[in-house]
Amino acid sequence: SARAQEAATRFPFTPIAAQTDFQVHVPEGYVHDILVSWGDPLFDGVQAFDHATGGAAADSDRVFGENTDGMETFVIGAHQIMAVNNEYVNPEINLPQTADGTPASAEDVRKLQNLQGVTVMEIVEGPEGWAPVKGSRFNRRLHHNAPMTIAGPAAGHALLQTEVDPEGLNVLGTMGNCGAGKTPWGTYLTCEENFNGYFGASDGLGGEATVQAGYKRYGIHEQGQYGYEAFDPRFDVSKTPNEPHRFGWVVEIDPTNPDSTPVKRTALGRFKHENAEVTLAPDGRVVVYLGDDERGEFLYRFVSDAPYVPGEDTAHLLNEGTLYVAKFHDDQSGEWLAMTPETTGMELAEMLIFARTAASKLGATTMDRPEWIAVNPNAVEAYCCLTNNKNRGLKTNAGGDATPVGGPNPREANKFGQIVRWYPAGDDHAADGFQWDLYVMAGNPETEEGAYAGSPNVTAGNMFNSPDGMAFDSAGLLWIQTDGEDSNEGEFAGMGNNQQLAGNPVTGEIARFLTAPNGAEVTGLCWSADRRTMFVGIQHPGGHWPGKEGDLPRSSIITVKRADGALVG
């Protein structure tokens, strides 16, 4: 069409139409393939994936995990290493022998625990395309029982102590690993999001008033989501009341050192972390933008005390600094409110452990579910996906603050989502003030009117809902991935399956690049060292993708290349 041709002059690809099938689609001139799927062996001696069993329980800590999400690539000498999150499980698929995915034994629970967390793996491109290097010394599975340490101001606090870890310094596992981040010193940041669902209570939600208030604000219920608590007392808060406090953190992993122990960085606060977008202030201090993905929760920023100095020790950088929370004003100004014992009236460690409660005391702006944040490499500005919010105007589910319509959250029945952008004062990401606008307000210009039709850069040809994953490429294009309603009906008609779009940050133009199989969300994006391959995550696909009729659907990372071998970002 004329529209597609016009857009093609401004994007390095011809935009594709919305799709409703169970396949992946990419533009003409591009090819895609599978890098790795849930259950693929990462170590020698592991059997190939078996669709009848969902993979052997005994091998479940030596295969690629389930539900791929945030990821980053690292170069070590001649090796390319990928660190990638395995966010959660689809138990009815992972345990196909059970009636409904409810674990029937400790072995079932262990299998689910093994399939999640983080995968670190060497990858290589050969004549048959990209694949993990089976048995590479870099390969690791950092699952729900992998040893980690706790660092920063909350490390060792009484609220982090348990019977098996009386010092409150050593925790098993990372969970709910959603988005990711990468530091300038070459480490991987994995973000613990929906940790609450792994916990249940066999004998009531006990504990002191502050602990009980925390359970409420963070969504710990008597009924766990995965049935862990029936077989693993660590996840039964009636028995281990402090265990939930040991999750909800950002965890730093050195993918270049297979012997290194991951470190939970408590200075970055405890909430349902989406991703951790790292940039540097002009003076070299480390700035980390952080979203808390819950209706009516907040947007945060961490600023280190010390500057990053290449070649010097970096262990202290994410331990010593200040956490801030965002307040947006209706006049399109905003400010970062410092969270300190003085401003919140809370002791430092407790303020970080219950960061949501602390931020409420400062009157921060309740947001429409902050998902990924991305910093533009070519301009001093940052973007955050506010994915959707069916509760705007009501109290939140989690016992939080009132959520009035206004500022960057302008719609009450926000089914479509928007992307807010802010411009730090003085071109300094560590500054206290900023200006903001909306880069895009998703909507349906065909079926809706007014604000629900979307902003002018939303057209019949690029409609989408629920922006979630987001990253800039080195050329300055903003890639947007969606996790939304893919019925293609009603107010979602014309949007089709979840998708990946490219946005021009200067003109605001947006074009559809890739569509996922129906049922899937698109989440996780990074590039090979030579930027000739784009890695894209396909999470919870429907149908039997990427296999044949009768196969279990398998979350997978795909590779996208140009057929002519040119750069893809």
Could you say whether residue 178 binds ligand FEO (CB under 6 A)? yes
Q: Which is nearer to Ca ion, 61 or 371 (CB)?
A: 371
Q: Which is nearer to ligand FEO, 304 or 539 (CB)?
A: 539
How many binding residues for ligand FEO (CB under 6 A)? 6
Residue 297 binding result from ligand FEO, Ca ion, none, given CB thresholds of 5 to 8 Å by partner type: none
Q: Specify the long-range contacts of residues 75-81, CB closer than 8 Å, at least 24 apart.
A: 75/529, 76/138, 76/256, 79/122, 79/136, 79/138, 80/122, 80/123, 80/124, 80/528, 80/529, 81/120, 81/121, 81/122, 81/123, 81/138, 81/255, 81/256
Q: How far is it, in rounded angstroms, from Cα 176 to Cα 556? A: 17
Q: Which of 40, 350, 483, 486 binds Ca ion (CB under 5 A)?
A: 483
SS3 of 194-230: the string is CHHHHCECCCCCCCCHHHHHHHHHHCCCCCCCCCHHH
Residue in 357, 467, 448, 344 with CA at minimum distance from that of residue 401: 357
CB of 314 to ligand FEO, least distance (A): 27
Q: Which of 371, 401, 486, 491 binds ligand FEO (CB under 6 A)?
A: 371
Q: Which of 122, 292, 350, 468 binds Ca ion (CB under 5 A)?
A: 468
Q: Which stretch binds Ca ion (CB under 5 A): 42-50, 318-326, 356-364, 366-374?
A: 366-374
Residue 232 binding result from ligand FEO, Ca ion, none, given CB thresholds of 5 to 8 Å by partner type: none
Q: How far is it, in rounded angstroms, from Cα 319 to Cα 316? A: 5
Contact 547, 539 (CB under 8 A): no
Q: Which is nearer to ligand FEO, 236 or 274 (CB)?
A: 274
Residue with CB nearest Ca ion?
483
Residues in region 266-305 near ligand FEO by CB under 6 A: 274, 293
Could you say whether residue 192 binds ligand FEO (CB under 6 A)? no
Residues in region 101-130 near Ca ion by CB under 5 A: none
Q: Which residue has the tokens 């947001």?
A: 367
Q: How far is it, in rounded angstroms, from Cα 418 to Cα 438? A: 7
CB of 190 to ligand FEO, least distance (A): 12
CB of 258 to ligand FEO, least distance (A): 26
Q: Which is nearer to ligand FEO, 277 or 371 (CB)?
A: 371
List strand residue ranges (DSSP E) for 105-176, in order: 117-126, 129-132, 140-142, 147-151, 170-172
- Name the burial class of residue 217, with classes exposed (0-12), middle (13-18) and buried (19+) by CB atoms within 10 angstroms of its CB: buried
Q: Which of 59, 61, 87, 243 binds ligand FEO (CB under 6 A)?
A: 87
CB of 469 to ligand FEO, least distance (A): 8
Residue 401 binding result from ligand FEO, Ca ion, none, given CB thresholds of 5 to 8 Å by partner type: none
Q: Which helix (H) or strand (E) holds 349?
A: helix 348-353
Tokens linked to 506: 């200067």
Q: How far is it, in rounded angstroms, from Cα 185 to Cα 316? A: 12
Residue in 322, 409, 323, 331 with CA at minimum distance from that of residue 365: 409
Q: Amino acid identity of 498?
A: N
Residue 243 binding result from Ca ion, ligand FEO, none, given CB thresholds of 5 to 8 Å by partner type: none
Q: How far is it, in rounded angstroms, from Cα 94 to Cα 538? A: 16
CB of 332 to ligand FEO, least distance (A): 26
Angle at 82 between CA 114 and CA 53, to 5 degrees: 30
Q: Which is nearer to ligand FEO, 85 or 314 (CB)?
A: 85
Per DSSP, 5 falls in state H
CB of 243 to ligand FEO, least distance (A): 21
Residue 59 binding result from Ca ion, ligand FEO, none, given CB thresholds of 5 to 8 Å by partner type: none
Q: Which is nearer to ligand FEO, 232 or 274 (CB)?
A: 274
Q: Which of 193, 232, 254, 350 binds ligand FEO (CB under 6 A)?
A: 193
Q: Which is nearer to ligand FEO, 277 or 293 (CB)?
A: 293
Q: Which is nearer to ligand FEO, 87 or 381 (CB)?
A: 87
How many binding residues for Ca ion (CB under 5 A)? 3
Tokens linked to 325: 């929370």
Q: Which is nearer to Ca ion, 122 or 521 (CB)?
A: 521
Residue 193 binding result from ligand FEO, Ca ion, none, given CB thresholds of 5 to 8 Å by partner type: ligand FEO
Q: Which residue has the tokens 């138990």?
A: 91
What b/e sequence results for 31-54 when a residue is b if at least 16 CB atoms lie within 10 Å of its CB, and e otherwise? ebebbbbbbbbbbeebeebebebb
Could you say whether residue 277 binds Ca ion (CB under 5 A)? no
Residues near ligand FEO (CB under 6 A) are 87, 178, 193, 274, 293, 371
Binding residues for Ca ion (CB under 5 A)? 371, 468, 483
